[in-house]
Structure 1
Amino acid sequence: MKILLVDDEERAVRGVSRWIAGEIGQWEVVTAASGADALRLLESGDFNVIVSEMRMTGMDGAELLSLVEQRHPDVFRVVLSGQADRDTVLSAVQPMHQFLSKPCDLNVLIDVIKQAETFQATIASAAVLDAIGQANGLPSVPGIVSEINEALASENWNTQSIANIIKKDPLLSARILQVANSAIFALPHPVLDVVQGVSLVGVEVIQGLAMSQAIQLRNVKDSALLSTNALFDHSFQVAVLAKTFSRRVLQGEDTCASVFSGALLHDIGKLILLDAFPDQYSRLLSVSAAEHRPLWELELDQLGATHQGVGAYLLALWGVPAAIVEIVASHHSFEVCSRRNLPCQVVYAANWLCNGGDEELIERELESADHTEQADLFAKRLLSWKSDALEHAEMASPTRNNR
């Protein structure tokens, strides 16, 4: 890993540099005393991470990271700042990946960089890494800004009503969780629920994030937009079904919240790939549907990355809680989910059912997993949950109710 530290207080930045180099000998750490110096260094070297102070003379951290996002999108962008002005820090939300507050335990900074390094190693394509780095400006659900503005214009709006609108949009939901879980708010516990995130972040920031994403819609082709809308609808359906399952088999509000959020965000990697490679990815979606081939296999073969890996990497960069990242990373792997906790299994089940609930697929997965005890148990759970879902659907059907 090659890391660029930027701060106009040279003594402070050199101290951080020496400490990181002493802890992780294989990392190369370079320092810059200004935004202009940082940009020159970025042009001349392959950096993986930039860690910048927010308040600097001349070019501030927000402006610097905006330029880094445009010119070097694959670089992991972190704000490490001691200033207490939350409004100013929030101005950097769009270009930054994570915010850490000074004084900062430098072990936390190292852990953040290590996590990015781990997920980055799973992405073989430089073009896909660039796409992930530019995902802060992905398009939002059409009309979401209007819905939010209309709700805020009403005298009866509240946090829940705004959150209900945002839950229709996986990307905006992820951005809210990103900001709420940053050190800007310095909470002692992770924020797993969009409702809590909305109450923390505030409506002005929400409107700004929604507007910045909506502007991107002008560059999205109609064909890709149709696919995007279908993905939004599917994500919400999976989240609702996963929430229903979680209430029956899981305990604790936080666990149920992480299941809903993880399910809502499970296909966020598809949106990144569709935005970056609209024609190629649309073809992959068509081939997968027509030939009944696993999409992740086509993605790995043609793009060098899977949508679950891309989505998990993005959410890890954004500092979204690990419980949600784990759900996104494993939602297509029967074998991995059989060894994971119930939240991962619930989202796998909901996604499997929303895609048709093919029992032959489970049989093939069992064979691949060598019928381990964990795999057999997971398969039984899937079939049981499918039976329950069908029974509840029948009970709720108009025909049944009219008998």
Structure 2
Amino acid sequence: MKKSILFVDDEPNILAGIRRMLHQLRGDYDLRFSENGEQALESMAERPADVIVSDMRMPGMDGAELLATIQQQYPHTIRIMLTGQADDTSILKTVTVVHQLLAKPCEPERLKEVLHRAAALHNQLTDGHLKDLITGISSLPSLPSVYARLQDTLKDPEACLDDVAAIIEQDIAMTAKLLQLVNSSFFGLYQKVESPARAVKLLGLDTIKVLVLGIQIFSELKAPGQKAAFATLWQHSMAVAQCSKRIATEASDNLDLINNSFIAGMLHDIGRLLLMSQLGGDYAAIIETARQEGARIETVETRQLQTTHADIGAYLIGLWGFNGDIMEAIIFHHQIDRLPAKSFSAALAVHLANHYYYLRYPEHVVGQPPPLNTDCLAALNCADEAVAWMSECQALMETDEDN
């Protein structure tokens, strides 16, 4: 069945232009058009769209309000904002309701790539076996409280870095763990950091937010008898986060891509964490089967659960409101060939970093190590660069070992 894409804009000329731009895609997608939010909701009620692309500023219900409603009523719909008036206040309104924010005018090829990627992501998130497993889990964790409070604070245009630090400092255990991390060799700081406020100023808000999120996730999700496995997964997640960011920094000067790579690297195995905590011995048996057979962990997961930790992780962070680039990095990091991307992406950064980690630490491999997709590197003309990126990542991990 064709994927359905709904475009919403109060300017008929804009909709007509999009219709002409995407004319050749009519055979691949069911393209629908609405001129305001109310009309779009009526269309969704008749037949939910798989992807919605909305303008931001519209009379009556604006794009942020529309997509917030879509998020609540149709959580599996991929939400994209297309706007030419993205001031800071508007962007803050969309932080937790859009999977992707695109600027007008958007080049035809760029829009087509985004739609293809959105369709691929939707396919994975709506797989029936994934839904069955998620339904069987007693309770999905909510977005960690400290991180959620940071997000809420940052929606206030009057908020400052000291406000962020004050939220972190209210949690003594969080503060201690955060300072331990930022003073590690991973961050290469040449001065001791003694307060969250100083950490925010030196490393930046985006980095601190991700560290807070990771710390709280690994603190709150528990699995009796698997303390060592949790510790190894935390080390792995931190290393992949740092290496993903390093690779993205070398490959691009796009700050959003770099930040998304760091976040996705930290969260790429959150599905494994959830399965370990929720399925306990059953998931431990899956890991042991992968070891005994020398098989890739996701192969055994698919055989026994009919889905993978990558699918489950992306589903969870989608519920938490993270953007589509992060979701696709998590869901495709083991199968980068299924992501229809024509340019460097956070997904590729995580795919590479994950592979480099297991080259450095083969003792942490469960079953068979994740292979490197050389065809994807060749298609994106970055095979040579990948050799240099591997060397940088190996050096980064060696530095941490030495301290």
When normalised by structure 1's length, the TM-score is 0.57
What is the distance in 2 between the residues matched to 1:245 and 1:113? 24
Q: Give the counterpart letter for 2:166 in structure 1.
A: N
Distance 1:150 1:8, change over 3 A: closer
> Where does residue 286 of structure 2 map in the other structure?
288
Q: Name the stretch that deviates more: 88-97 or 11-20.
A: 11-20
1:356 and 2:363 matched: yes
Identical aligned residues as a percent: 21
Secondary structure in 2 aligned to 1:112? helix
Conserved? CA contact 2:64–2:94, under 8 Å: yes
RMSD: 5.5
- Aligned match for 2:310, one of 308, 333, 347: 308
Shift of 1:49: 0.8
> Where does residue 338 of structure 1 map in the other structure?
none
Shift of 1:58: 1.9
Secondary structure in 2 aligned to 1:18? helix
Shift of 1:298: 4.2
Conserved? CA contact 1:239–1:260, under 8 Å: no
Shift of 1:14: 3.0
Shift of 1:68: 0.9
1:168 and 2:168 matched: no
1:67 and 2:65 matched: no
1:38-84 Cα deviation digits (max 9, x unpaired) = 11211222421101111122221111111111221111111111224
The 5-angstrom pairing of residues 127-206 of structure 1 reads 128=130, 139-140=142-143, 143-144=146-147, 148-149=165-166, 156=198, 157-160=200-203, 162-169=205-212
Conserved? CA contact 1:124–1:305, under 8 Å: no
The 5-angstrom pairing of residues 6-17 of structure 1 reads 6-17=8-19
> Where does residue 93 of structure 2 map in the other structure?
91
What is the distance in 2 between the residues matched to 1:394 and 1:221? 25
1:334-388 Cα deviation digits (max 9, x unpaired) = xxxxxxx9985553242476683459846x99xxxxxxxxxxxxxxx9xxx9xx9
Distance 1:344 1:328, change over 3 A: closer
When normalised by structure 2's length, the TM-score is 0.57
Secondary structure in 2 aligned to 1:83? coil
Distance 1:352 1:140, change over 3 A: farther
Q: Give the counterpart letter for 2:324 in structure 1.
A: W
Distance 1:353 1:64, change over 3 A: same
Secondary structure in 1 aligned to 2:98? coil
Conserved? CA contact 1:5–1:52, under 8 Å: yes
Distance 1:226 1:117, change over 3 A: farther
Conserved? CA contact 1:2–1:49, under 8 Å: yes
1:328 and 2:330 matched: no
Conserved? CA contact 2:79–2:100, under 8 Å: yes
Distance 1:30 1:95, change over 3 A: same
Shift of 1:242: 8.1
Distance 1:224 1:252, change over 3 A: closer
> Where does residue 270 of structure 2 map in the other structure?
271
Distance 1:39 1:298, change over 3 A: farther
What is the distance in 2 between the residues matched to 1:78 and 1:85? 17
Distance 1:89 1:280, change over 3 A: same
Secondary structure in 2 aligned to 1:265? helix
1:92-122 Cα deviation digits (max 9, x unpaired) = 1211011111122232111101122234445
What is the distance in 2 between the residues matched to 1:67 and 1:47? 14
Conserved? CA contact 2:301–2:307, under 8 Å: yes
Conserved? CA contact 2:310–2:331, under 8 Å: no
Distance 1:37 1:98, change over 3 A: same
What is the distance in 2 between the residues matched to 1:97 and 1:345? 23
Secondary structure in 2 aligned to 1:63? helix
Structure 1 gaps, min length 5: 173-213, 332-340, 366-380, 398-403
Distance 1:81 1:253, change over 3 A: closer
> Where does residue 239 of structure 2 map in the other structure?
240
What is the distance in 2 between the residues matched to 1:229 and 1:40? 52
The 5-angstrom pairing of residues 373-384 of structure 1 reads none
1:47 and 2:54 matched: no
Kindly tell me the number of residue pairs found equivalent between the two proteins. 316
Distance 1:138 1:229, change over 3 A: farther
Conserved? CA contact 1:224–1:282, under 8 Å: yes
What is the distance in 1 between the residues matched to 2:80 and 2:119? 14
Conserved? CA contact 2:241–2:266, under 8 Å: no
What is the distance in 2 between the residues matched to 1:348 and 1:291? 21
- Aligned match for 1:318, one of 314, 324, 345: 324
> Where does residue 112 of structure 2 map in the other structure?
110
Conserved? CA contact 1:267–1:328, under 8 Å: no
Conserved? CA contact 2:56–2:62, under 8 Å: yes
